[in-house]
Amino acid sequence: MTELAEGMEVTPSIRLKRRLGAGGMGSVWIADHSALRTEVVVKFLADRLAEDPTSQARFAREASAAAQVKSPHVVQMLDHGVTAGGHPYIVMELLEGRDLAQEIRRRNLEPHEVGHVVEHVALALGRAHARGIVHRDIKPNNIFLCDMGTPLPFVKLLDFGIAREGEQNLTSTGQLIGTPAFMSPEQLSGKPVDAQSDLWSLAVVALKALTGQNPYERPTIPETMGAVVHGDVPVPSKLLPGLPAGVDAWFARACAHDPKRRFSGATELSEALWAALGMPRAVVSSPSASSGPLPPPAATTVSITPSEPVTEGTLRSTVDQPPRKSTIEGWSSPGTNRTRFAVAAAIAVVLVLGLALAMGAWTTTGVPRLGSALGGVARQSLELGARARRAAEPQAPSLPTTPSASAKPSVKKPGVGRPRTKEDDDLGF
């Protein structure tokens, strides 16, 4: 194999620029994408693993699984393949910001920040689980806080390298892959895992972000595994006094040893956390929300809409209103129908009155006067009908000379990027 180096061509459009870091599983580089005129991240599988079919399959699956989720809360995959020199690679978007592990090392997150992170990750997991994809490596290093220039970051889930799709499993019997302190009891026990395992891990991530501690962590891997599989479920308020009692109940359910006792899905997990925190999700979760003080906690549980929120950075920006239904083509609104009915009624009344007058004229003066009367009535009816039709026709609205006060300027999504500098963990392996 040729050695990776600055200036090396990955594809005709992608050329390596600088290395971010390297570890036992491979390396990560910044590269220029000439066709897109932007920088991207290129991830390479280590040379020693490039000849191993299982490692190759797992590496390729990282790209395919993330692409299948089709969520704005999952890092975007741009390409994957093998270079002319024999190096398996994945090309992905370059994110700007920091991963959650870096942020936790700096400080404990505020409760509303944790609720926001959990909600965004839950949106990604909900899409993945619906497609039969279990991530299996939910941890702070794989959760990225994208800097969007807003009070709260846009959160993306990274690294589907050990994800399981359907019944496919690329790990050997007895092989442990993941981070033990964030792995569910069933995963550490070697049992089959499903979506409940990811939710267990996300709850432990939330506890770590809130308190700065993961009570399952021990000095050695066997001790950590024993704490997860056989230990008691931690009580968050004992780690951080002042947390609402509802958070303790939420964590006890989210991390129950029996998966059947946990939340049924990612949406329920996220909504229950907002309710346990006593905060309305709609106020604090959107990245475009005001950076001012948060509202006081609600006294009771919060009713939350289960649909995905429309936020800056998502693929949805507008909601189309459905057109009004019509029963007769051309009569499209109740107002127009009422107006046209009134016109028709008026014409009918005039015709009836005219006919009555004409009959009177027949009896007194004969045919000549009848013809004159009918002609006059017809002219009056036509003039009245024309005036009524003109009044009923819709008038073109006048264009405003100044922008509407409620109109919002379009928001250009800033570039996104993701530098990772620590070996293995920070490289996304």
Tokens of 361: 């004229």
Under 8 Å CB-to-CB from 15, ≥6 apart: which residues? 7, 8, 9, 31, 32, 34
Could you say which of 71, 93, 115 is where a domain stops? Answer: 93
Q: Is residue 424 part of a domain?
A: no
Q: Per the domain annotation, does 221 fall within a domain?
A: yes
pLDDT digits (tens, 9 = 90+) for 316-345: 222 233 333 333 233 334 444 444 545 455
Residue 383: what pLDDT?
Answer: 58
pLDDT band per the 50, 70, 90 thresholds, residue 289: very low
Question: Is 70 exceeded by the pLDDT of residue 300?
Answer: no
Domain stop point among 93, 111, 146: 93
The verdict on residue 251 lying in a domain is yes
Query: In this structure, are 150 and 257 located in the same domain?
Result: yes
Of 266, 284, 302, which residue is a domain's last? 284
Considering the domain architecture, whether residues 125 and 167 belong to the same structural domain is answered as yes
Average pLDDT score over residue span 166-177: 52
Q: Give me the pLDDT at residue 385, please.
A: 54
How far, in Å, CA of 120 to CA of 326, rounded? 40
The token pair that represents 291 in the structure block: 């950076």
14-23 vs 26-33, strand pairing mode: antiparallel
Q: Which domain holds residue 122?
A: 97-284
Beta-bridged to residue 155, according to DSSP, are: 145
Instruction: Compute the distance between CA of residue 272 and CA of residue 289 in angstroms, rounded to an integer.
Output: 21
Q: Inform me whether the pLDDT recorded for 78 exceeds 90.
A: yes
Containing 426, the helix (H) or strand (E) segment is none
Residue entry with tokens 């996104």: 416
Asked if 89 and 115 sit in the same domain, the reply is: no
Give me the number of domains the chain comprises: 3
Domain shared by 116 and 67, yes or no:
no
Residue 10 confidence class, pLDDT cut points 50, 70, 90: very high
List active site positions: 137
Q: Exposure pattern of 237-273 as b/e (b: 16+ CB <10 Å)? A: bebeeebbebbbebbbbbbbbebeebbebbbbbbbbb
pLDDT bucket at 53, cuts 50 / 70 / 90: confident
- List helix spans (H) across 135-214: 185-188, 195-211
Report yes or no on 422 lying in a domain.
no
Same domain, 107 and 77: no
Answer with the residue of higher pLDDT: 283 or 199. Answer: 199
SS3 109: coil
User: pLDDT exceeding 90 applies to what percent of the chain?
Assistant: 50
- Residue 218 resides in a domain: yes
Indicate if 117 and 248 belong to the same structural domain: yes
What is the overall mean pLDDT for the chain?
A: 74
The more confident residue out of 416 and 113 is: 113
In a domain, 278, yes or no: yes
CB 78 within 8 A of CB 92: yes
* For the chain, percent of residues with pLDDT exceeding 70: 62
Residues 260, 384: one domain? no
| Structural domain contains residue 309 | no
> What confidence tier does 286 reach under pLDDT thresholds 50, 70, 90?
very low
**Given a cut of 90, is residue 375 above it in pLDDT?**
no
Same domain, 84 and 101: no
pLDDT interval class at 302 (50, 70, 90)? very low
At 166, the pLDDT band (50, 70, 90 cuts) reads: low
Q: Which of 376, 332, 334 is nearest to 354 (CA)?
A: 376
pLDDT at residue 115 greater than cutoff 50? yes
Tokens 């550490």 label which residue?
188
Residue-level pLDDT at 56:
87
List the Cα angle 195/145/38 in 5-degree steps: 110
Same domain, 201 and 264: yes
pLDDT tens digits along 249-263:
999 999 999 999 999
Residue 16 lies in a domain: yes
Same domain, 225 and 279: yes
Alpha-helical regions (H) of 366-408: 367-392
How far apart CA 91 and CA 125 sit, in angstroms, is 22
For tokens 């649909």, the residue is: 307
The phi and psi torsions of 174 (rounded to 5 degrees) equal 85, -5
Q: Are residues 41 and 131 in the same domain?
A: no
Same domain for 89 and 144? no
CATH code, 84: 3.30.200.20
d(CA 16, CA 30): 6
Helix pair angle (245-254, 195-211), 10° resolution: 150
